[in-house]
C-alpha cells in the first residue's frame, strides 16, 4: 500500500465522551485516527463509522491503559495496523485521554482506589508514551519526529472540588510531566502540551453533572461563558492545538473551561 500523506492520531479512550469528541474533531480536520477502548467495543465501532462518514479512516484497538503488560503487544498491533491501513511505520499525534474518576476523601479512601487512579492517570500515561515515543537504538519510535502529544488534564488540578483529591493530584502530576517531556522531546521537534477541561456533562463520575440540574445551575453560575461544557466543546480545542501552525506552542497548560472559577 502506498504511504498515506494524511496525518494519523492515536487517541486513548476514544470510544465515548471527550475521547470521541477528540476523534471526530480530528477527523473533521482531515486527520485519520487509531482509537483505543477498554470496553464497549460497540461504541468504538460507532466512532469508526462516524469517522468514515466524515471522509476519514479510523481503526479501533482494545487497550486497558492500567495493564502495562499489554503495552508491548499493543505496540505490535498498532505497528501492523499502521502498515496495513496507511503504509506507514509511524503516527503523528498522541492524545492521552483515557481516564476514570474516583471518590477519595481523606479517611475514607482505600489503597486499591489510589493505585488504580495512579495506574490510569500517571503510570499508564508515562509508560504508554514511553513505549510510543522512544525506541531502542537502531530502531525508529512509533511517534514520528515533528509530532504532537496532548495530555488531557483537568480543571481539578487548579481548583478544588471534593471528593477528587487523588484524581486532581494525578492530573497535576501530568501537567508537570508535560513540561519535562516538552524539553526531552523538543530536540525531535515534538511539542507536548496539556489541555485541562473544566466541568463537562459526560459519563465522568457516573454522569453526575449531566444528571443533576442543581449541579448544572451551580457550575453555570461560576462559569464566565454562562453554561457548562459538552464533550464537543473540548474535542475541537484539542484539534486546534495540533493543527499546522501551532507547533511552536509547547510545555503549556491550556484550560478549556469556559472561564470556570476565574
| Domain CATH for 240 | 3.40.50.720
Average pLDDT over the chain, rounded to an integer? 94
Query: 3 lies in a domain?
Result: no
Query: 18 lies in a domain?
Result: yes
User: Tens digits of per-residue pLDDT, 182-207?
Assistant: 999 999 999 999 999 998 987 766 66
Model pLDDT, residue 1: 63
Query: 164 lies in a domain?
Result: yes
Q: Residue 135 pLDDT more than 70?
A: yes
Query: 77 lies in a domain?
Result: yes
Find out whether 220 and 228 touch, Cβ atoms under 8 Å.
yes
Query: 86 lies in a domain?
Result: yes
To the query of whether residue 126 is one of the catalytic residues in this protein, the response is no
What the block records as the C-alpha cell of 43 is 461504541
Dist. CA 33–CA 12, nearest whole Å: 10
Catalytic choice (71, 167, 180, 208): 167
Query: 2 lies in a domain?
Result: no
User: pLDDT confidence of 28, banded at 50, 70, 90?
Assistant: very high
Give the global pTM. 0.95
Q: What is the 3-state secondary structure (H, E, C) of 52-86?
A: HHCCCCEEEEECCCCCHHHHHHHHHHHHHHHHHHH
Query: 183 lies in a domain?
Result: yes
The percentage of residues in the chain with a pLDDT greater than 90, rounded to a whole number, is 86
User: Tens digits of per-residue pLDDT, 53-102?
Assistant: 999 999 999 999 999 999 999 999 999 999 999 999 999 999 999 999 88
What the block records as the C-alpha cell of 47 is 466512532
What is the number of structural domains in the chain?
A: 1
Q: Residue 3 pLDDT more than 80?
A: no
Q: How far is CA 229 from CA 28, 76, 199, 202, 209, in A?
A: 20, 37, 6, 9, 10
User: Tens digits of per-residue pLDDT, 143-174?
Assistant: 999 999 999 999 999 998 888 999 999 999 99
CA 16 to chain centre: 12
Query: 162 lies in a domain?
Result: yes
Q: Which domain holds residue 108?
A: 8-256
Amino acid at each position: 500500500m502506498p504511504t498515506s500523506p494524511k496525518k494519523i492520531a492515536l487517541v486513548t479512550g476514544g470510544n465515548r465522551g471527550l475521547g470521541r469528541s477528540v476523534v471526530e474533531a480530528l477527523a473533521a480536520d482531515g486527520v485519520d485516527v487509531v482509537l483505543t477502548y477498554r470496553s464497549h467495543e460497540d461504541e468504538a465501532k460507532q466512532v469508526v463509522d462516524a469517522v468514515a462518514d466524515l471522509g476519514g479512516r479510523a481503526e479501533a484497538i482494545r487497550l486497558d491503559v492500567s495493564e502495562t503488560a499489554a503495552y508491548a503487544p499493543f505496540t505490535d498491533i498498532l505497528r501492523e495496523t499502521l502498515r496495513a491501513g496507511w503504509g506507514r511505520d509511524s503516527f503523528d499525534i498522541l492524545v492521552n485521554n483515557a481516564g476514570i474518576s474516583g471518590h477519595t476523601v481523606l479517611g475514607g479512601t482505600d489503597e486499591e482506589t489510589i493505585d488504580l487512579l495512579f495506574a490510569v492517570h500517571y503510570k499508564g500515561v508515562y509508560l504508554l508514551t514511553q513505549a510510543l515515543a522512544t525506541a531502542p537504538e537502531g530502531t525508529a519510535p512509533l511517534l514520528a519526529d515533528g509530532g504532537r502529544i496532548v495530555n488531557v488534564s483537568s480543571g481539578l488540578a487548579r481548583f478544588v472540588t471534593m471528593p477528587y483529591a487523588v484524581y486532581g493530584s494525578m492530573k497535576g502530576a501530568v501537567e508537570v510531566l508535560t513540561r519535562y517531556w516538552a524539553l526531552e522531546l523538543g530536540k525531535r521537534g515534538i511539542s507536548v502540551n496539556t489541555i485541562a477541561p473544566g466541568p463537562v456533562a459526560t459519563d465522568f463520575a457516573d454522569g453526575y453533572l449531566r444528571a443533576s440540574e442543581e449541579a448544572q445551575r451551580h457550575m453555570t453560575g461560576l462559569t464566565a461563558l454562562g453554561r457548562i461544557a459538552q464533550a464537543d466543546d473540548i474535542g475541537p480545542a484539542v484539534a486546534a492545538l495540533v493543527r499546522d501552525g501551532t507547533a511552536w506552542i509547547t510545555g503549556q497548560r491550556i484550560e478549556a473551561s469556559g472561564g470556570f472559577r476565574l
